[in-house]
């Protein structure tokens, strides 16, 4: 019998919205992404093995940031 097993990472969108992009300097759309590693059998993900990380990606410039960037105040004043 021939088995094809392996590992893959799959990304999923957790949230979308607008934020102040530090790279562009303005309000831009973002996508909050979470990555998870999976054990595969015949290229089908079967068993989740843990998270690989989370990030926020600006839809305008493509820059990636830590997820807490969406809660930051662009004026720099304490909230």
Residue 46 has pLDDT above 80, yes or no: yes
3-state helix, strand, coil split of the chain in percent (to 5) is 5, 65, 30
Could you tell me the pTM of the whole model? 0.77
**Residue 30: predicted pLDDT:** 97
**Residue 61: predicted pLDDT:** 94
Residue 8 has pLDDT above 90, yes or no: yes
**Residue 75: predicted pLDDT:** 65
**Residue 71: predicted pLDDT:** 87
Tokens coding 54? 């989370």
């Amino acid at each position: 019998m021939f088995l094809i097993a392996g590992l893959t990472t799959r990304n999923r969108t957790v949230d979308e919205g607008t934020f102040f992009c530090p790279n562009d300097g303005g309000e831009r759309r973002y996508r909050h992404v979470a990555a998870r590693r999976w054990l595969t059998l015949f290229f089908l993900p079967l068993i989740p093995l843990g998270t690989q990380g989370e990030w926020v990606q600006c839809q305008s410039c493509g820059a990636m940031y830590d997820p807490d960037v969406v809660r930051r105040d662009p004026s720099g004043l304490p909230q």
